[in-house]
Structure 1
Amino acid sequence: MGDWLRDGLFEAAGNVIDGWAWLSGKASAAVVNRAVCTTRNRPHPWSSLSDYTSWQGLTDRSYLARHLPAVDVPVQPPPEKVREIFARQDGHALLSPKSTCLFPAFAQYLTDGFLRTSPKDVARTTSNHEIDLCTLYGRTPDQTRALRLLSSDKGRRGRLKSRMVGGEEFSPFLYKPGTKELTDPAFAALDPPLVDENLPPEQRDTLFAVGGDRVNSTPFTSMMNTLFLREHNRIAAELEARNDGWDDERIFQVARNIVIPIFIKIVVEHYINHITPLPFALRADPSVAWNAPWNRPNWMTVEFSLLYRWHSLMPDAIDWPAGPLAPARQIGIGAFLQNNRPLIEVGLDAAFSGASSQAAGELGALNTALPLLHIEDRAVVQARKNRLATYNAYRVAFGMDRAMSFNDITTNDALAAMLEDLYGEPDHVEFYPGLMAEDRVEDSPLPGLLLRMVAVDAFSQALTNPLLSEHVWNERTFTPWGFDLIARTSKLGDILARNVQQRGPTPIEMTRPGWSYKDQ
Structure 2
Amino acid sequence: MTAAMRSKRRDKLVPRLRVFLLQNFAPVWRTVERVPPLARLVNRLIINTACNTAAFRPHAMSTLGDYTSWSSLTDRTYLGRMIPPLPAAARDGPSLAETTALFAPQGPQQQCPKSTLLFPIFAQYLTDGFLRTSSTDRARTTSNHDIDLSPLYGRTPAQTLALRAAPDQGRGKGRLKSQWIGDEEFPPDLYRTGTSDIAADFADAHGTALLDLPLGMNADPPWAAGEHSRRRLFAVGGDRVNSTALVAMLNTLFLREHNRLAAELERRNPGWDDTRIFETARNIVIVLFIKIVIEEYINHISSACFRLRADPRVAWNAPWNKPNWMTVEFSLLYRWHSLVPETMLWDGERMDTAAILLDNRKLIEAGLAKAFKWAGQTPAARLGLHNTAIYLENRLTVESRAIEQNRARRLPGYNAYRQAMGMNPVDDFDCMTGDRARQEELRALYGTPEAVDFYVGLFAEDAGLNTPMPPLLGAMVALDAFSQALNNPLLSRQVYCKETFTGYGLEVIEATGTLWDVLVRNLGPTAPSDIRAEDVRMTRPDWRRRFSAF
TM over 0.5: yes
2:328 to 302, 307, 310: 302
User: Does the 8 A contact of 2:413 with 2:451 survive in 1?
Assistant: yes
Q: Which residue of 1 aligns with 2:217?
A: 196
2:91 to 61, 74, 82: 74
Q: Letter of the aligned partner of 2:65 in structure 1?
A: S
Q: Deviations over 1:469-496 (max 9, x none)?
A: 0000011110000011100100000000
Query: Which stretch shows the higher mean deviation, 257-266 or 11-20?
Result: 11-20
Q: Deviations over 1:314-366 (max 9, x none)?
A: 11112222xxxxxx543323333111111111010011101111110011112
The gaps in structure 2 that reach 5 residues or longer are 1-13, 204-208
Alignment of 1:388-399 (within 5 A): 388-399=411-422
| Runs of 4+ displaced beyond 6 Å | none
User: Does the 8 A contact of 1:388 with 1:431 survive in 2?
Assistant: yes
Q: Deviations over 1:152-201 (max 9, x none)?
A: 56751100000011321000000012312111243422111112322454
1:433 to 421, 432, 456: 456
1:262 to 267, 285, 288: 288
- 1:145 matches 2:173: no
Distance 1:270 1:250, change over 3 A: same
User: Does the 8 A contact of 1:2 with 1:451 survive in 2?
Assistant: no
Distance 1:516 1:20, change over 3 A: farther
CA distance in 1, matches of 2:197, 2:171: 30
Distance 1:395 1:341, change over 3 A: same
Alignment of 1:393-412 (within 5 A): 393-412=416-435
Q: Which residue of 1 aligns with 2:6?
A: none
Alignment of 1:94-493 (within 5 A): 94-152=110-168, 156-187=172-203, 188-197=209-218, 198-199=222-223, 201-202=226-227, 204-205=229-230, 206-321=232-347, 328-372=348-392, 373-493=396-516
Query: What is the CA distance between 1:16 and its match in structure 2?
Result: 1.5
Query: What is the CA distance between 1:15 and its match in structure 2?
Result: 1.5
Query: What is the CA distance between 1:10 and its match in structure 2?
Result: 5.5
CA distance in 1, matches of 2:332, 2:123: 14
Partner-residue secondary structure (3-state), 1:164: strand
- How many equivalent pairs are there? 513
Root mean square deviation, CA, Å? 1.7
CA distance in 2, matches of 1:411, 1:199: 46
Query: Which stretch shows the higher mean deviation, 199-208 or 234-243?
Result: 199-208
Please give the TM-score of this superposition, normalised by the length of structure 2: 0.90
Percentage identity across aligned positions? 51
Partner-residue secondary structure (3-state), 2:145: coil
CA distance in 2, matches of 1:400, 1:320: 42
Alignment of 1:2-41 (within 5 A): 3=16, 5-8=18-21, 11-12=24-25, 13-41=28-56
User: Does the 8 A contact of 1:343 with 1:351 survive in 2?
Assistant: yes
Partner-residue secondary structure (3-state), 1:169: strand
Query: What is the CA distance between 1:7 and its match in structure 2?
Result: 2.5
The gaps in structure 1 that reach 5 residues or longer are 322-327
Q: Letter of the aligned partner of 1:117 in structure 2?
A: T
Partner-residue secondary structure (3-state), 2:255: helix
CA distance in 2, matches of 1:49, 1:150: 41
CA distance in 2, matches of 1:192, 1:122: 19
Please give the TM-score of this superposition, normalised by the length of structure 1: 0.95
Q: Deviations over 1:61-93 (max 9, x none)?
A: 000000011114523222221122212211x11
CA distance in 2, matches of 1:189, 1:297: 28
Distance 1:182 1:303, change over 3 A: same
- 1:88 matches 2:105: yes
Q: Deviations over 1:385-416 (max 9, x none)?
A: 11111011101111111111111211111111
Q: Which residue of 1 aligns with 2:4?
A: none
Structure having the higher Rg: 2
